[in-house]
Amino acid sequence: MTTASETLHRLGITLPVPTPAIAAYVPFVRAGNLLIISGQLPLLDGKLLLTGQFGAGLTLEQGQNAARQCAINVLSQAQAALGTLDLIRRVVRLGGFISATPEFTDHAKVMNGASELMESVFGEAGRHARSTIGVPSLPLGAAVEVEGLFDISP
C-alpha cells in the first residue's frame, strides 16, 4: 500500500510551509479522531495564485488549478498538525468558497480541482462529502478558499 507521502512525491508535489492564520483563528483543530483545517487560500510561495471573480474574466482551468493549490495547502496544515499525512484514514468533507458573479454557475467544476487531488492522494479514502458555495468576495481578494475535515488515527 502506497502512503500519502509517497503518492505526493510521485505526483511531484512538495507540501509548502503552512501559512499562519491571517486573523483571529487557528489553522487547525484536532478533536478526538477528527482534524478540522481552516479555510486555505491558493497561496504559492507566499503569493496568491489567483484573485478576482469567476464570471468576470477567470477561466474554469484557472479555478481548478487554484482549488488544487488550496487543497495542497490544506494538506500542508494537516501534516503540520499530525506530523505525517499517514495518520489520515479518510477525507470526510471539503468545503469550497468560490468568488463569483451572480451569473456564474460552475462552482462545482472549480471545486473539482481540490476534490480530484484528495482522491489522487488518498484513493478511495479521499472520496468525500462536499459543499461548494459562491460568494461575492474572499479574504485578500482570493478567487477560491478550501477547508477540510479528516478522520484520523488516534
Is residue 116 in a domain? yes
Is residue 22 in a domain? no
Residue 98 domain boundaries? 4-14+41-152
Is residue 111 in a domain? yes
Quote the pLDDT of residue 129: 98
CATH of the domain at 126: 3.30.1330.40
Please list the pLDDT of the chain residue by residue as tens digits (154 residues): 789 999 999 999 999 999 999 899 999 999 999 999 999 999 999 999 999 999 999 999 999 999 999 999 999 999 999 999 999 999 999 999 999 999 999 999 999 999 999 999 999 999 999 999 999 999 999 999 999 999 999 8
Number of domains the chain contains: 1
Cell 482522491, residue located: 119
pTM exceeds 0.85, yes or no: yes
Q: How does 44-66 read in b/e, with b if 16+ C-beta sit within 10 Å? A: eeeebbbbbbbbeebeeebbbbb
**Angle at alpha carbon of residue 61, lines to 46 and 112, rounded to 5°:** 90
Is residue 70 in a domain? yes
Quote the pLDDT of residue 2: 85
Residue 115 CA to residue 8 CA, distance in Å, equals 15
Quote the pLDDT of residue 1: 74
